[in-house]
Amino acid sequence: MRVLLLLLLALLLGACSPPAKFNGTELTGIDWGKDFALTDHHGKQRPG
């Protein structure tokens, strides 16, 4: 019972923290990496 209460308290305190800031890079329209392809589980190449 005590472990459950501590877990609940930890989850509630974690929910009160501010969200992490997302730092991303816009890659739309780049020239490099257009020939990138992966192989799926059937062995067929899929474009990236």
Phi, psi of 27 (to 5 degrees): -115, 10
pLDDT of residue 48: 61
Among 35, 33, 30, smallest CA distance to 45 is for: 35
Each residue's pLDDT, cut to its tens digit, for the chain (48 residues) gives: 899 999 999 888 877 778 788 888 888 888 887 788 889 999 998 876
pTM: 0.34
